A and B are shown apart, each in its own frame.
Chain A
Amino acid sequence: MATSSKQYKAIGEDIWKSRPEKTNAELFALTYGALVVQLIQDYEDYDEVNKQLEKMGYNIGTRLIEDFLAKSNLGRCSDFREVGEVVAKVGFKSFLNISPTVTHGAPPPPASPTSTVSQQLSGGSSFTLTLDENPLAEFVELPEEALEGGLWFSNILCGVLRGSLEMVQMQVQAVFISDVLRGDESTEIRVTLVKHLEEEVPVGDD
C-alpha cells in the first residue's frame, strides 16, 4: 500500500537528521547568489541565464537522485501523485530542510478520473510545489532589469527536478509559476509529466 504522507515526512526528517555534514545556510545562499550574478554578468541575457541555471540543475539532479534513493530506500512510486508527495516531503526535506506543500493538478481529460493506472502512462498530470521559504534566496533583492528581463532566481531547482526524475524514467517539465522575489504572493514550481521513458541503455554524458 502507498506509504502515508506522515511516513514520508518522517523519512525526510530522518534523512536530514542523519546527515553529519551540513553546510552553513548563509554560505550556501551567498555562494548561489554570487553564481547567479556572475552568470548574469557573463551572459547578459536573462533567458539565457535561466536556461543555464536549469542546465546546471539538470546535471546536479542526475547525480543527486543516486544519493537520494540510497538514503531513502523508497521503492517505485505507483503514480505521479505519489511522485509529487515523495519529492516534496522526502526530497526537499532531506536536502534543503524545507517542506513545500504539494497541490496536485487535475488529471488529463481523456483518462477517467477514477482510473489512476492509465494516468501513469499518459502525460499531462502535474503537481505544483509551493515553497514558503527558499534558502537560496535568503538575502536577495532583484534589481529592476532582472524583474523586467524575466529572471527566475532559483531556476536551478527546476533543473534538479527534471534531472533527477529523468533518471527514474520520467520525463518532466518543471517551471516556475511565481516567485516572491518578483513580488508575487508565493513561490511555486509546476512539474508536469511529459511521458514515461522506456528502459534503455543509458546515454553517455554529453
Chain B
Amino acid sequence: MPPQLRLNAVAFVSSQNHPILIRTFSQPKQDELKYHYIAHTSLDVIDERITAAGATKSTECYLGLLYVEDVAVYGYMTPLKVKIIIALELSDNVVRDIDVITISQALHTAYRRSVANPFLRLHAPSDNVTDHAVVVSAGSQKWKLFRERVDEICRAVTLPAAA
C-alpha cells in the first residue's frame, strides 16, 4: 500500500528569486499567504544548503527536507537555478526520498514544457535579452496550462487512497 502523501503546496521560484507559481491544495482553505511565507523562508534555507554543499557542482540538486514548521518542506533545484518547493503535510508515514524526487521531476517536466511555449516572450521587449525575470513573472494568464498541469500532478499524488 503506497504511503499517502498529502501535498499541501507547491511553489516555483525563479533564479532571481521571483515567484513563478504558488499553488496550494490543503483541504481546509488556509490562507495562501502562509505558503508564500514558507516559500520565502525556504529560499534562505536553500541558499544555506547550496553554500554548504560547496564546490561540488551537482546538477539536478535534490535538496531534501529543508525544515519542518507544521508542514514538511522539501526543496529541489534545477540546473537553471529554478527552485521547486514542495510542502507535504506531516504524517506518521515514512516519506521516501525517491517519492519526493519523482514528484519534483514531474513538476520540473511540467515547468519545462510550459516554458517552451514560444508565446511567452510575445510581449517581452525583444532587445532586452538579459532580463529573463520579465518573461517568467508570476500570476500572468499565460501560465494557465502550467497551472493545470501542476494541478494534475498534485491530484495524481494525493489520489492513491487506501487500496
Contacts and interface: CB of A to CB of B under 8 A. Distances in A.
Interface string A137-158: 0111111101000000000000
B118 interface: yes
Nearest to A40: B122
Interface in A24-70: 26, 29-30, 33-34, 36-37, 40-41
Nearest to A143: B119
A34 B119 CA distance: 8
A36 B122 CA distance: 10
Contact of A143 (B114, B116, B142): B142
Interface residues of B, number: 13
Contacts of A34: 118
B122 A141 contact: no
A69 B49 CA distance: 61
Interface in B79-119: 113-114, 116-119
B145 interface: yes
Interface string A107-145: 000000000000000000000000000000011111110
B141 interface: yes
Interface in A79-103: none
B121 interface: yes
B122 A37 contact: yes
A40 B126 CA distance: 12
Contacts of B122: 37, 40-41, 143
Contacts of A141: 114, 117, 119, 142, 144-145
A37 B144 contact: no
Contact of A30 (B114, B118, B145): B118
Contact of B119 (A29, A138, A146): A146
B141 A139 contact: no
A30 B126 CA distance: 17
Nearest to B122: A37
Given A143-B142, A144-B141, A138 B116 contact: yes
B140 to A, nearest CB: 10
Contact of A139 (B113, B121, B126): B113
Interface in B31-67: none
Contacts of A41: 122, 126
B127 to A, nearest CB: 11
B43 to A, nearest CB: 28
A33 B118 CA distance: 5
Contacts of B121: 37
Contacts of B144: 141
Interface string B114-138: 1011110110001000000000000
9 contacts: A26-B116, A29-B116, A33-B116, A33-B119, A37-B119, A138-B116, A139-B114, A141-B119, A143-B122
Interface of B: 113-114, 116-119, 121-122, 126, 141-142, 144-145
